[in-house]
Amino acid sequence: QLQLVESGGGLVQPAGSLTLSCVPSGFTLEGHAVGWFRQAPGKEREAVSCIGSSGKVTNYAPSVMGRFTISRDSAKNTVYLKMNDLKPEDTAVYYCAATTSAIATLKQTWYEYWGQGTQVTVSS
């Protein structure tokens, strides 16, 4: 079964940092673009960031630009989301997803494989 596993979520104070990890199960991320998405309670899931298969192209939602950084480590078959200066409005379940396309995209419909999500809570 092809799936993704997220980790690294938790409770953090405002202005704090967390790094999320995304690891595939049953396949390699080589050749796949990967995206991070989030869903807050009562809201629709939204795009956060994405990275192309080469790692050279990235994109971010305006709300996280300058605070979040996406990266990938091919040797570890892992994609990361480094989140700095976290705000209460960043509280959500964060999902990683992979597409068979190599092109980075924030369009959720392009992604075929999804993880179960990891909770991030920003609160004092």
User: Nearest to residue 71, comparing CAs of 84, 85, 82, 83?
Assistant: 82
pLDDT score for 44: 98
pLDDT score for 116: 96
Q: Which residues of the chain have pLDDT under 70?
A: none
pLDDT score for 2: 80
Contacts of 31 (CB under 8 A, 6+ apart): 53, 100, 102
